[in-house]
Structure 1
């Protein structure tokens, strides 16, 4: 597959996707979003890799949607752009592979939404996050969805109503990112995390990822009932049987997708 707005590389069981519009601060144009969705779905279908790392080329991760497309587009054009973004977020959620975002510089508006929608996030210590749409008269209602599911309501509303930046350390404290590291170590630490996850069975992670997001908004015992059914059925899978035997026999498991 050839792309205009993104780059893609694979290293062993890890896929590295790079937003490649540095001259536009990696703005999420409709074209970029469509390419990203297409690639994510292909990765999910082929199952050749076990983890996806999403990062940005240039000085920043992403400044969000391409405002020129919004300013110059018809209402239908703008709707189609936001629908393209919806499909990207759904692809991140629905592919079996965990998606790790590697953040440097800034992640604002829909760029912040990408961070919040991903399964995991690693940030450079000088990275900053914001949902500044309110400052240009376009409240960040779509970024608010995943932002409010990552951090507390009061903090989410503060970001949405002020448009102010959140530091990487604040993002760690409030649950928007998993790790904050020196800029010089960002790529190595992210790759190390991806490599650790890639040692696991993809089919096991796929079951777990789907179940995690299914149960998260359920009432406690509804969630537990659902999770009980999932783990009971999962125990009969080939990789679960292999993993349990390997543990009992004190050896490394041999996953079906290795």
Structure 2
């Protein structure tokens, strides 16, 4: 599969779907068309049975420079509200995609780019990455829900109130990213991580993702009950038999 939208590139190869934000001349700033394209690309890869893992990248030196402020000139409040709803739909498409989604950060991640990256299941990045949440200093509000759930309330407030830049090491320390490597090692780290995911059983990975997401939004008992349902689903599918047989034979899981 390979498709090209107006503002994103979307391709699938060897079980891996890749979405590339593709407005490098505008530092991949998120406009309405990109929000629509991003949503459509995620849904296309979600529906592609050959795709097991989805990577989200940015073309050029910047992952995403945030919202495209230039498109706001002369628009109405209603238009801007609908534009934000389109962006929210794109973020949610990533977050609630049943397949694992990984953001690959190689440079600055700003505003809407932070929402795209943190909507993914986790972020792998080079030491050149940085984060900035400038919504308040631009007269708007954003990132008030995902960010505090990751870094905590106090730090989220500081970042959102000040719009300061957070470097790679701090972002790693506070849990905003999973791994930081030298720029020349980023692709190898991505390939290694994706390779390990592809070794796992796809149903088990998807159910684990759903269980974690549901559990984090509910109490422990509810989460455990949901996990039991997931276990029953695996038992019905028979993945556990194949996994056990591979282990006994000393073979890779798949």
Q: Structure 2 length normalisation: TM-score?
A: 0.93
List, as ranges, runs of 4+ consecutive aligned residues in structure 1 with deviation greater than 6 Å.
none
Aligned mates of 1:233, 1:16 — CA distance in 2: 28
Listed as ranges, the matches of 1:233-244 within 5 Å are 233-244=233-244
Choose between structure 1 and 2 for higher RCO, CA contacts under 8 A separated by at least 6 residues: 1
1:204–1:240 contact (8 Å) kept in structure 2 = no
The answer to whether 1:159 aligns with 2:155 is no
- Alignment RMSD (CA, Å): 1.6
Gaps of 5+ in 2: none
SS of residue paired to 2:151: coil
Q: 1:25 is matched with which residue?
A: 27
Q: Which stretch of the first structure deviates more once superposed, 56-65 or 193-202?
A: 193-202
Among candidates 126, 129, 132, match of residue 127 of structure 1: 129
The answer to whether 1:178 aligns with 2:173 is no
Count of paired positions? 252
1:96–1:202 contact (8 Å) kept in structure 2 = no
Aligned mates of 2:18, 2:233 — CA distance in 1: 32
SS of residue paired to 2:30: coil
Listed as ranges, the matches of 1:25-104 within 5 Å are 25-104=27-106
Aligned mates of 2:125, 2:7 — CA distance in 1: 22
Q: Structure 1 length normalisation: TM-score?
A: 0.91
Superposed CA offset, 1:208-234 (max 9, x none): 111211111211222223222322332
Aligned mates of 1:69, 1:175 — CA distance in 2: 33
Superposed CA offset, 1:192-215 (max 9, x none): 212221222222211111121111
Aligned mates of 1:71, 1:150 — CA distance in 2: 33
